[in-house]
Chain A
Amino acid sequence: MVQIFFAYFALVSIAAGILTVSLRNPVHCGIALLVLLGHVAGLFVLLHAEFVAVVQIIIYAGAILILYLFVLMLLNLKTEERYFHRRHAWYITGVGALTVELLMVLLASRFGGAKGPSTVEAVEQIGNSMAIGILMFSDYLLPFEIVGIFLLGAIVGAIVLAKTPSPADLSGKDR
């Protein structure tokens, strides 16, 4: 059962990804990205990471993608005749295929690594959110705070960059 869902989610994700990078109209690309994000969330659910899946939907699909679509429409770029660098396409694709090939060879090997404490059963007992919350606010508190500051910086930067320049800014004189 799980394999069927996995196959579905995986194939659609890959298809959506390919569509995102190859469609002509940018808005179509955005829609494809949305599909991708949703199915990636589905993969997360299959992996018993419900909290992450939900966050993916809410933040990624619900905020970031919206932002992209807003900016797309704001700028209203013309779609041009030649929308990709033709020469590069072939080179990159070839090399990329090679790398994937190598990775497949890799995948035949055993994956090592120490097993952690949070087995699926243990997590299901308290629920994924709580488990993540406990861990986040104890072991990973510092990165959490730093990310907060980072987001603050991003906000400030985005606002400063994107606001309509005042006439003084445009003329370049000191205020």
Chain B
Amino acid sequence: MYDLIVTLIPMFPLLAVLANGLNVMLGHRYSHEIAHRLAWGSVLLSFLCSIWVLGQTLGHPDPRTVIVYRWFFGADLTVNFGFLIDPLTCIMLMVVTGVGFLIHVYSVGYMHGEEGFTRFFAYMNLFMVSMLLLVMGNNYVVLFIGWEGVGLCSYLLIGYYYDRVSAAKAATKAFVVNRIGDAGFLMAIFLIFANFGTLDYTDVFAQAGKLDPTMATAIAVCLLIGAVGKSAQLPLYTWLPDAMEGPTPVSALIHAATMVTAGVYMVVRNHAIYDLTPDALMLVGVIGGTTALFAATIGLVQTDIKRVLAYSTVSQLGFMFLACGVGAYAAAIFHLVTHAFFKALLFLSAGSVIHALSGEQDIRKMGALWSKIPKTHGVFLIGTAAIAGFPFLSGWWSKDEILGHAFTHGHYVLWALGATAAFCTAFYMSRLLYVTFYGESRVDHEAAHHIHESPNVMIVPLMVLALLSVVGGLIGVIPGGLENGWFQQFLQPVVRSTGAGGEAAHEEGHLLAYILMGVTTLIGAAGWFTAHYFYKLKPEQPDLLMNRMKGAYTLLLNKYWVDEAYDKAFVEPGKAVGRSFDKMDQAGIDRAVVAVEQVTDLSAAGSTWVEKHVIYSGLNRIGYSNHLAARVLRRLQTGLVHHYAAILVAGLVVLVNLIVLFLWLGGAS
């Protein structure tokens, strides 16, 4: 029963994919109504199954393995297609299926009337299948299948509006940058196999202690490369902002709540290896911290509502990596969960705003919307508060836990990076809120007429997410108090540390924790107040500041010109190589083709000549010689019998002579 339910979790969306996919290919046999019901219905069923599995796991948190079938095997290696269910998996399942379900429902309203409606849901369900495989897999191969699958779906969904060149380019960019990370990930898998001889999690982690530190560092770094690619950290983050070309639900699901968190999940899953290498962990933390700050600074000045949220996602993912880097794996997952809630909420409400304004995404053309789309405003406000760290909301708990853990374990630099990033986060999110919803209306005249609140099918999921954003953090504190809530206790068996980053610091005292909590809150408040100052109290200040700090402003606005640098360093040379190959091709092949053409011509002419003068004339001569011979031999037929008799006699004479000469004389006398 258990095995069946577990297997069904990815099965439901898979069936929906097949149905909707076939529907599209066979020419839309059933209506959009049925298509979307299949889509979110399957995710709902998966969610219910995940709840059941969670219930089962609450009873006994030991990891349970479900083998679906023995996939491939050889002398040294057996790879099963199997699932591993432990507390970490359960958490991820709930996030993926739960938030995924809400986003699916929202999409029914958002994508209403689109021509590729069924295709969209087919891709979304395919993404669900891949993500579920990723989090449920019990070995690196299944993980990798899911890993690649979500990358593929990301490509398909970013490029959903395939007739837009910018969308197609963004999709390709996402896939290629992901691929770079995947190369590192594959290296890690090879190293793991070389060292452990198996690819199953349980076996690998059990033997993890036998690794020598250098090998452990190598594996950890390679895994990190994969995580950096998938979770858009420095230096492989450039694809995420461009990925906003896709529809907003895609941004919410894939680029906020689930796919990008796969990197964090992977690091947490492999903590047994990371715990062996403090150097690699430090690298993780550093990457996380710098990314958090770097992306936050870019987000300060962006003008596209989705871009701001994209950089915010990169930044928050940096927080999660930071948490992993200081050994606070449970905190990282906690932040992953809360981030899923409020980031999905923010993206979806941004989508609601865009929908209300008939497609406008530039915040410079928004303003004074709070009265016109009150519900959207309400949920956006809640989301902003959550991410900025408003006390007692979900984001406050999780962010504080990360920063607290960093500080108490002596990683002061990382703490400083994180704190600064938190300040920036609060600032730019508040800025976004103010510019979009308050102030004077800068909306286009045309769009202003059509401003309307989104339909309920979009609003209700937003409300649910808003509720989760408010109360979701409480699972981290109830019932055990700060950093010891149900959540952390649930995850304890999984993230049991074996080396660095132990839980010893917890005993240090709650006073320090409360002080840090206060500091974090102050930082958040400061960020909000700065935004309030610039955008509400003194609205003319931003422009003045911009003029005074022209250089810095341009640097930030142009995203530190990282994309341009990558372009010059990698893309252009690559294209140049391609072009030179093309030229070589053309020169070589063209010449070859022309040469072949000439040879063919020559041989054709030669053949023709031979045919005419040798073959035909030969044949003619043979025929003619027949003629000549016939003309000569014809004269034998005189019609006169005595001539025939003469010939008879001549033949007889010859025969007799022959017989006499050769048979008789040769034998007898």
A→B interface (CB under 8 Å)? 85, 88, 92, 95-96, 98-99, 102-103, 105-106, 108-110
Q: Which B residues touch A96, using CB under 8 A? A: 653
Contact between A99 and B669 (Cβ–Cβ < 8 Å)? no
**A110: chain B residues within 8 A (beta carbon):** 668
Decide yes or no whether B650 CB sits under 8 A from chain A: yes
Cβ of A102 to closest chain B Cβ, rounded Å = 5
With A95-B653, A99-B653 known to touch, is A106 a contact of B660 (CB < 8 Å)?
yes
B664 and A85 within 8 A (CB)? no
List 17 interface pairs A-B (beta carbons < 8 Å), by A numbering: A85-B642, A88-B642, A88-B646, A92-B646, A95-B649, A98-B657, A99-B653, A99-B656, A99-B657, A102-B660, A105-B665, A106-B660, A106-B664, A108-B669, A109-B664, A109-B668, A110-B668
B668 and chain A: residue at smallest CB distance: A109
Given the complex, which residues of B lie within 8 Å of A92, measured CB to CB? 646, 649
| Closest chain B residue to A85, Cβ basis | B642
Task: Give, as a whole number of angstroms, the nearest-CB distance from A101 to chain B.
Answer: 10
Chain B at the A interface: mostly helix, strand, loop or mixed? helix
Among A85, A88, A102, A108, which residue has its beta carbon within 8 angstroms of that of B656?
Answer: A102
Which of chain B's residues has its CB closest to A109's CB?
Answer: B669
Q: Which positions in B face A, CB cutoff 8 Å?
A: 642, 646, 649-650, 653, 656-657, 660-661, 664-665, 668-669
| In the bound complex, CA of A23 to CA of B642 (Å) | 19
Cα distance, A108 to B660, chains bound together (Å): 13
Which residue of A is nearest B665, CB measured?
A105
**Cα(A66)–Cα(B649), bound, Å:** 29
| Least distance between B27 CB and chain A CB atoms (Å) | 84
Are B660 and A95 in contact (CB-based, < 8 A)? no
Bound: A103/B653 CA distance, A: 12
**What residues of chain A lie closer than 8 Å to B649, measured between beta carbons?**
92, 95
For B665, list chain A residues within 8 Å (CB).
105
Whole-angstrom CA separation of A92 from B650 in the bound complex: 8
Q: Which residues of A contact B660 (CB under 8 A)?
A: 102-103, 105-106
In the bound complex, how far is the Cα of B664 from the Cα of A109, in angstroms?
10
With a cutoff of 8 Å between Cβ atoms, the chain A residues found around residue B646 in the complex are 88, 92
In the assembled complex, the CB of A55 is this many whole angstroms from the nearest CB of chain B, namely: 29
Smallest CB separation, B242 vs chain A (Å): 110
From A95, A105, A109, give the contact of B650 (CB < 8 A).
A95
- Closest 3 pairs (CB-CB, A-B): A109-B669, A102-B660, A109-B668
A99-B653, A109-B668 known, 17 other contacts, Cβ within 8 Å:
A85-B642, A88-B646, A92-B646, A92-B649, A95-B653, A96-B653, A98-B657, A99-B656, A102-B656, A102-B657, A102-B660, A102-B661, A103-B660, A105-B665, A106-B660, A106-B664, A109-B664
CA distance A69 to B646 in the complex (A): 26
Complex Cα distance, B667 from A109, in Å, reads 11
Main secondary structure on chain A at its contact with chain B?
A: helix
Residues of A within 8 A of B664 (CB): 106, 109
Contacts of A99 in B (CB 8 A): 653, 656-657
In Å, the complex CA distance between A11 and B78 comes to 117
**In the bound complex, how far is the Cα of B668 from the Cα of A98, in angstroms?**
20
Contacts of B642 in A (CB 8 A): 85, 88
Output the least CB separation between B655 and chain A (Å).
Answer: 11
In the complex, the chain B residue whose C-beta lies closest to that of A99 is B653
State in angstroms the CA–CA spacing of A35 and B631 once bound together: 47
Who on chain A is nearest to B660 by CB? A102
> In the complex, how many angstroms separate the beta carbon of B646 from the nearest chain A beta carbon?
6
Complexed CA–CA distance, A118 and B650 (Å): 39
CA distance in complex: A102, B660 (Å): 8
Q: How far is the CB of B635 from chain A (nearest CB, A)?
A: 15
Docked Cα-Cα span, A92 to B652, in Å, equals 12
Residue of A nearest to B661 (CB): A102
B644 CB to closest chain A CB (Å) equals: 12
- Distance to closest chain B CB from A106 (angstroms): 6
How far does the Cβ of A23 sit from chain B's closest Cβ, in whole Å? Answer: 18
Q: How many Å lie between the Cα of A171 and that of B650 in the bound state? A: 43
Name A88's closest neighbour in chain B (CB-CB). B646
With both beta carbons as reference points, the residue of chain A lying nearest to B664 in the complex is identified as A106
Q: What residue in chain B is nearest A112 (Cβ atoms)? A: B668
* A102, B662: Cα distance in complex, Å: 12
Q: Which residues of B contact A106 (CB under 8 A)?
A: 660, 664
Cβ distance A110 to chain B, nearest Cβ, rounded Å: 8
Shortest C-beta distance, A146 to chain B (Å), equals: 26
**With a CB–CB cut-off of 8 A, which chain A residues contact B657?**
98-99, 102
Measured between alpha carbons, how far is A175 from B2 in the docked complex, in Å?
Answer: 113
Complex Cα distance A139/B18, Å? 102
- Given the complex, which residues of B lie within 8 Å of A98, measured CB to CB? 653, 657
Which A residue's beta carbon lies closest to that of B642? A85
Inside 8 A of B650's CB, which chain A residues have their CB? 95
A105 to B665, CA, bound (A): 9
Q: In the complex, which residues of chain B have a beta carbon less than 8 angstroms from the beta carbon of A103? A: 660
CA distance A99 to B656 in the complex (A): 8
A98 to B653, CA, bound (A): 9
Kindly list chain B residues whose C-beta atoms are within 8 Å of the C-beta of A109. 664, 668-669
Q: How far is B646's CA from A99's CA once the two chains are assembled, in angstroms?
A: 15
Cα distance, A85 to B640, chains bound together (Å): 12
Q: State in angstroms the CA–CA spacing of A92 and B661 once bound together.
A: 20
The distance from the CB of A95 to the nearest CB of chain B, in whole angstroms, is 5
> Which residues of chain B come closer than 8 Å to A105, judged between CB atoms?
660, 665
Query: Closest Cβ of chain B: how far from A26's Cβ, in Å?
Result: 16
- B661 contacts across to A, CB distance below 8 A: 102
Instruction: With both chains docked as a complex, state the minimum distance between the C-beta of A107 and any C-beta of chain B, in angstroms.
Output: 11
CB distance from A54 to the nearest CB of B (A): 32
Closest to B652 in A: A99
In the complex, A117 Cα to B646 Cα: how many Å? Answer: 41
Report Cα–Cα, A62/B668, bound state, in Å: 43
Bound-complex Cα distance A108 to B665 (A) = 11
Complex: chain A residue closest to B657, CB-CB: A102
Closest to B640 in A: A85
Residues of B within 8 A of A95 (CB): 649-650, 653
Looking across the interface, which residue of chain B has its beta carbon closest to that of A110? B668
Distance, CA A39 to CA B642, complexed state (A): 29
Q: How far is the CB of B575 from chain A (nearest CB, A)?
A: 98
Looking at the assembled complex, report how far the CB atom of B652 sits from the nearest CB atom of chain A, in whole angstroms. 9
Which residue of A is nearest B654, CB measured?
Answer: A95
- Whole-angstrom distance between the Cβ of A133 and the nearest chain B Cβ: 36
In the complex, how many angstroms separate the beta carbon of B535 from the nearest chain A beta carbon? 133
C-alpha gap A102/B663 in the complex (Å): 13
Q: What's the minimum C-beta distance from A130 to chain B, rounded to whole angstroms?
A: 37
Minimal beta-carbon separation of B654 from chain A (angstroms): 9
- Chain B residues with Cβ under 8 A from A85's Cβ? 642
Q: Which residues from chain B contact A88 at a C-beta distance below 8 Å?
A: 642, 646
Q: Please give the distance in Å from B659's CB to the nearest CB on chain A.
A: 10
Give chain B nearest CB distance to A82 CB in angstroms: 14
* Complex alpha-carbon distance, A85 and B646, angstroms: 11
Contacts of A108 in B (CB 8 A): 669
- What separation, in Å, do the CA atoms of A92 and B649 have in the docked complex? 9
Q: Looking across the interface, which residue of chain A has its beta carbon closest to that of B669?
A: A109
Cα A105 to Cα B656 with chains together (Å):
13
Give A106 to B656 CA distance when docked, in angstroms: 12
Q: With A and B bound together, what is the CA distance between A88 and B642 in angstroms?
A: 10
- Measured in the bound complex, the distance between the Cα atoms of B656 and A108 in whole Å is 17
- Complex Cα–Cα for A88 and B669 (A): 34
CB distance from A22 to the nearest CB of B (A): 16
- Whole-angstrom distance between the alpha carbons of A103 and B657 in the complex? 9
Q: A102 vs B652: C-alpha distance in the bound complex, in angstroms?
A: 14
- Tell me the smallest distance from the CB of A112 to a CB of chain B, in Å: 9
In Å, the complex CA distance between A110 and B664 comes to 11
Q: B563 CB to closest chain A CB, in angstroms?
A: 113
